[in-house]
Structure 1
């Protein structure tokens, strides 16, 4: 008599699994995939690196140990030492001649904001000459910038700090959606709004943040992220609850701070009507956490994903500040008005730092309503979060997903797991118009170019090969 197995494990096609299941035998289906082509030798080398396991454990622990607090708001000239003619931007390094439309538009608007030109259109000659201006990534200055991510000296920035170490990160204030500088728009209404943010909103926020900090202790941004993930936000393209909680914490001090009552009312209305306002706190909070893992030799964990509208780049904990880049992709999603795929620029922005830390597209299961903005279905959102666990080193118990039995969000993208499974990180994103000056045209879902992970893996293998056995 042939014994009936307690269960059968199958990989690959479902034909065998379905036949076994039809005979009332429990089946465990393993979704096995071959590794990315050409990565086998590098995967073997990195797998044999004796530092890898402990390095990844240390990198993940460092990330999970950080808490971000809002300690100040001030101009970039004061915080980062930016001088006239110095511009920061999102993504890996790029020059004007390769810059995409939305980045060019934001730089042109930024030049007009700083008084370097009177008309933004005149800035083209300024950047083409290159003599009196410079471009540098936000990530190289302890900062992050959404979409084009342009930072100029007069722009006010949030300051987040890990109180245990004193490390800080920065991000500009959020302008809202539509025709805004970060989407490459630079019309008169864009510049008027930015000047108001510098003259009115920034100082009011500074007074409130400092008052709260000095009286009750600084606003716990990491704690707000914990709460908002349980309230339907995923902290990239949905920040409604986070914005309202921030307003709850700061509005009393804004009202009692002695500012002009009309200015205070206008500022409160602006923040309260801008559901994305908290994004510019979520991003530097994620960077603050991930930067704690930088320089962990032997670690294969990704510490940054960023796009400049032309290139998509990643950095890993074990390879220092080196960028591994490939062509940015156009998102697949929903468009505003009459816009369509031909109007959209390839992916842009530092906001993928949220996914790098385990929220945003990685936590779509916390925010099923997000599919109404970026496309897909609610089951897709749930499946995405589950799938991201396959390419990460662990979970963040602080940031949990109620609908998945309060499981922690997938955290710590592992280059080796991406190369071994072929599963790419999922990002949800806004879409900027391809032409400078257009602004936002839609929102959708996108993944990095696959080739950047084998490139990072090859460098990690090279470093591992130099390590004494």
Structure 2
């Protein structure tokens, strides 16, 4: 980024001699990184910050001009998309098995995170998670059998997002897995997500050992029925209210879910005690939730999913409905282009790694959890959770700056999800692909990091910006659609 400082002269003054420069009061215009101006402020030097940056490289100007010519129609469509997102009311209404409730689910279909991808291009952790799912389903008796079956062509693969679902990291959903069932009470659409396994060696990070399968079976036979009874007793769980509270308590509900999980626990605990006949089983379920700070992630994700799905297929809209990664590709979808994917290579996050691991071990970015950023949470709300930036040696001020920058690329602000440190300003919501490209500001994401080899699991957590390539492609795709409308 270019940073320039220069002395400002009155327009009627004569050209200043070099020898006189150091006798005048210094006045600086700073273009680029605001930290340069912060240093000047610290020594009481007058400075003006110019918020400018060059447009993204390699952008199709013809496509941008087409969209600029339709600005009035696009603005109107984006206002409608934002309204649908903000008026959404995501609630948990039940739990069930994937085969029973996810649209189009079949016994030999496995759903995965991110845009479409075949076995031959899948990364290590996604392959490992699929192998684990085949072992869990009893379709294979060993890792070798699972790998052969996965590559045989007998198993179908599809993105979770194409079946009203989301999945963290590898995002794997198979037929027998229990899922949360969400309804958007304002718009009538549904969404689904598996239950969170915890951290470390877990299926979603590509682990498939016996302990992983044993945990999944316990979740199916003990955790799931206990939660199902509790939710039936409660009637529903208002996720919008819980997320709003969690933001006030230090979460951004992507990489930090401690408050969200605690609030959920307070709701569920009395219902579990009242509806579970086995005291020991109830205790184990409560201990599992209590020990897993990320338990709420698998609810914040589908909460964003049902809100964003309500904004799909609005003609002329340049608002994103999906950002997702499969560990190989980073993909986005727009309201105005429906189910069309625009993709580019996934990047490796900047992360704090667990002892014994480095960036060389890390797989490129993976998971559907960027649906939280797409919905105005996660990295977009990181000012509410400044502890997250400690992953990469950042500061609380960095967290504020990340969120402030995201307002530049969104259609508006949330009316319920608010950030205390910004005087309860609503989170930046409704990513506008045109603003991303014109301002060359990329969506900011915080995320977990999986080992690049199957079977290892999580190796760290960190942050990154989305790659530009999918946004360039989306500009062209939207322009083509508008030109033929």
Report the Cα distance in structure 1 between the residues aligned to 2:339 and 2:401, rounded to whole angstroms: 33
Deviation at 1:165, TM superposition (A): 2.9
How well do the aligned residues superpose, as a CA RMSD in angstroms? 2.4
Change in 2 beyond 3 A, CA 1:374/1:183: farther
Does 2:296 correspond to 1:278? yes
SS across alignment from 1:277: coil
Aligned counterpart in structure 1 of residue 192 of structure 2, from 154, 158, 170: 170
The answer as to 2:484 corresponding to 1:466 is: yes
Q: 1:344–1:433: 8 Å Cα contact kept in structure 2?
A: yes
Aligned positions of 1:334-353 closer than 5 A: 334-353=352-371
Partner of residue 115 from structure 1, selected from 123, 133, 138: 138
What is the CA-CA distance between 1:28 and the residue it aligns to? Answer: 4.9
After TM superposition, the structure 1 = structure 2 runs for residues 14-53 of structure 1, keeping only pairs within 5 Å, are: 28-37=48-57, 38-49=59-70, 50-53=72-75
> Counterpart in 1 of 2:17?
none
Aligned ranges 1:131-170 → 2 under 5 Å: 132-170=154-192
Alignment partners' CA distance in 1, 2:292 and 2:171: 18
- CA-CA distance at 1:10 after TM superposition: 6.0
Q: Return the alpha-carbon distance in structure 1 between the equivalents of residues 288 and 332 of structure 2.
A: 34
State the distance in 1 between where 2:32 and 2:249 align: 39
Q: Counterpart in 1 of 2:286?
A: 268
Matched, 1:208 2:240: no
Structure 2: segments with no counterpart, 5+ residues: 1-9, 13-26
Output the TM-score relative to the length of structure 2: 0.90
Structure 1 residue 183 corresponds to structure 2 residue 208: no
Question: Do the aligned partners of residues 369 and 72 (structure 1) sit closer, same or farther apart at CA in structure 2, a change above 3 Å counting?
Answer: same
In 1, are the aligned partners of 2:250 and 2:385 still within 8 Å (CA)? Answer: yes
Report deviation, 1:40: 2.8
Q: Is the 8 A contact 1:374 1:428 kept in 2?
A: no
Q: Is the contact made by 1:374 and 1:429 (CA closer than 8 Å) also made in structure 2? A: no
Q: Max radius of gyration: which structure?
A: 2
Shift of the alpha carbon at 1:25? Answer: 11
Quick check: 1:102 aligned with 2:125?
yes
Offset of residue 449 of structure 1? 1.6
Question: Whole-Å Cα distance in 2 between the matches of residues 332 and 466 of structure 1?
Answer: 41
**Superposition TM-score, scaled by structure 1 size:** 0.93
Cα displacement string for residues 57-109 of structure 1 (whole angstroms, at most 9, x for unaligned residues): 10111100101111001110111253322100000000000000000000000
Q: Hey, what does 1:309 align to over in structure 2?
A: 327
CA contact (8 A) 2:226 2:276 kept: no
Secondary structure at the aligned position of 1:229 is classed as: helix
Q: 2:116 maps to what in 1? A: 93
Report the CA distance between 1:45 and its aligned residue.
Answer: 1.3
Distance 1:253 1:25, change over 3 A: closer
The equivalences for 1:190-339 within 5 A come to 190-213=212-235, 218-339=236-357
Counterparts of 1:73 and 1:166, CA distance in 2 = 17
- Cα deviation code 1:390-410 (max 9, x no counterpart): 111110020111001111111
Q: Distance in 2 between matches of 1:417 and 1:34?
A: 13
CA displacement at 1:301 relative to structure 2? 0.6
1:79 corresponding residue in structure 2: 101
Structure 1 position 278, deviation (Å): 0.3
| Offset of residue 11 of structure 1 | 7.6
User: How far is 1:118 from its partner?
Assistant: 0.9
Contact 2:32/2:52 (8 A) holds in 1? no
